[in-house]
Amino acid sequence: MGTFRASTDNAPSVCSSRRVPIFFTVFLAAASLSAQSVNLKIDFAKDSPVTPLSVESGDSTATARGGAYQVNVHASLSLRNLSQKKIRGITMAVLAQEVTPGGKGSVSIPSLDVTPNDAFTVRIDVPLIRPLSAGQGAPAVEVRLDGVLFEDLSFYGPDSLHSKHNMTLWELEARRDRKYFKSVLETAGDTGLRNEMLRSLSREADRQQQQPGVQMVRGRSTNFDAGQDVQFAFLDIPESPAEALDGTARITSDGARAPRFEVRNRSTRPIRSLEIGWLVKDQQGREFLAASLPAEANLAPGKTGQVLEQDTALKFRDSTNISTMRGFVSNVEFADGGYWIPSRAIIDDPKLRSLVAPSPEEQRLAQIYRKKGLAALVEELKKF
């Protein structure tokens, strides 16, 4: 948990009539200000395996609108791989401390295939809104390298956003899915691969329609809404090294909070961390993946531990009323640096397939098929 300043000074207030003249003064002052340049700082360490070739931020704008500064940073970074290894993924951290103290953003590109000395582009778009009262001038935006993942799964970078963990999982999923589609091509030929792609595109379209707007709130609640504890049902994945035994969350009028799980390590390797997928079914029968719950578990083989997110609340932007909840272990990181991810057979289970998003690599391959056709997809699968 980070620390956050609790402030009400910046909150728009129209409740007091004495504020009305201030309200309009701010409005007129804001209207009189023209668009200003954006303070964009790009920072790479000297020993970084990638170096910026060029930075284009020509159409970035900072404009005073109403009682706020609206900043749109559009930057396109052209980077060169200076290392001797192929790059598989990169994450750039984006900071705007004046807007969200402690808050950060990131841009990651998984499934890259950048050979040494090759160049590639990272596009960064950051829309920001900062109250005029929160400072003077356009807010500064800083871009830093957070991590680079190489072909051999080695990593470079400060990893302030746990990008090593995420990029390694994406790369393992990419390898799993490429291997699967290659095997489909070998066993079922072009027709089999085409059918797989069509099924993937169809599932993706259905899944996107199910997903409602969700929000995750961190910090202790000041609003008392007792709610009631509701039990999770768990999908048992026999090949998973961790088993979820029991779990509850407190259901309130606008969502759920304080999820708690009991997890057992049923493998022979110590577990460092794991992630649980949180599925929610609403009273209309619509089921979707509401959130994921990563947790530092530190579980020795055979041991049971508890995952508790006391100050976490999941809320819905529409009037979704939770009916039932399910959970499943979606990935595990072992203490020795190894990972477990579900196999294709597990994620192709009808109970999960329509609810869980496909890997970034499957989405990339499906887009290549949709845009360029089967021949281009086959060519792409042969690359690596």
Query: What residues between 336 and 375 interact with other proteins by CB under 8 A?
Result: 357, 360-361, 363-365, 367-368, 371
Quote the least distance from Cβ 248 to other proteins, whole Å. 14
200 binds other proteins (CB under 8 A): no
Residue 94 as a binder of other proteins (CB under 8 A): the answer is yes
Residues 167-186 that bind other proteins (CB under 8 A): 170
Stretch that binds other proteins, among 42-50, 207-215, 227-235, 335-343 (CB under 8 A): 207-215
> Does residue 193 interact with other proteins by CB under 8 A?
no
- Is 29 near other proteins (CB under 8 A)? no
Distances (CA, A) of 221 to 218, 225, 312: 9, 9, 9
Taking the complex as a whole, the smallest distance from the CB of residue 4 to other proteins amounts, in Å, to 5
Among 309, 327, 332, 341, binds other proteins (CB under 8 A): 309
Q: Does 102 bind other proteins (CB under 8 A)?
A: yes
Q: Is 111 in the site for other proteins (CB under 8 A)?
A: yes
b/e for 252-291, b at 16 or more Cβ within 10 A?
bebbbbbbbbebbbbbebebbbbbbbbbbbbeeeebbbbb
Contact flag: residue 219 with other proteins (CB under 8 A):
yes
Q: How far is the CB of 334 from other proteins (least distance, A)?
A: 20
H helix intervals, 33-69: none
Q: Closer to other proteins at the Cβ: 235 or 266?
A: 235
Which tokens belong to 376?
């281009």
Cβ 171 to other proteins, closest distance in Å? Answer: 12
Q: Which x/- pattern over 263-302 shows residues binding other proteins (rule: CB under 8 A)?
A: ---------------x----------xxxxxx--------
Residue 130 as a binder of other proteins (CB under 8 A): the answer is: yes
Shortest Cβ 317–other proteins spacing (Å): 6
- 146: three-class secondary structure by DSSP: strand
Beta bridge partners of 23: none
Rounded CA-CA distance 78/138 in Å is 25
Shortest gap between Cβ of 296 and other proteins (angstroms)? 10
Contact by Cβ (8 Å): 53, 78 = yes
Q: Does 105 bind other proteins (CB under 8 A)?
A: yes
Size of the site for other proteins (CB under 8 A): 88
Q: Candidates 41, 179, 218, 351: give the one binding other proteins (CB under 8 A).
A: 218
Q: Does 10 sit near other proteins (CB under 8 A)? A: yes
Q: Map the footprint of other proteins across residues 40-79, applying CB under 8 A.
A: 65-68, 70, 74
To the nearest whole angstrom, how small is the minimum distance from the Cβ of residue 238 to other proteins?
Answer: 25
Q: Each residue of 93-130: b (16+ CB within 10 Å) or e?
A: bbbbebbeeeebbbbbbbbbebeeeeebebebebebeb
Residues 103, 116, 301, 373: which binds other proteins (CB under 8 A)? 103
> Phi and psi (nearest 5°) for 151?
-55, -35
Q: Report the amino acid identity of residue 104.
A: K
- The CA distance from 305 to 313, in Å, is 21
| Positive or negative torsion for Cα 184, 89, 124, 162 | positive
State whether the Cα torsion 130-132-133-136 is positive or negative.
Answer: positive
* Torsion, CA 91, CA 96, CA 100, CA 102, rounded to 10: 60
To the nearest whole angstrom, how small is the minimum distance from the Cβ of residue 121 to other proteins? 9
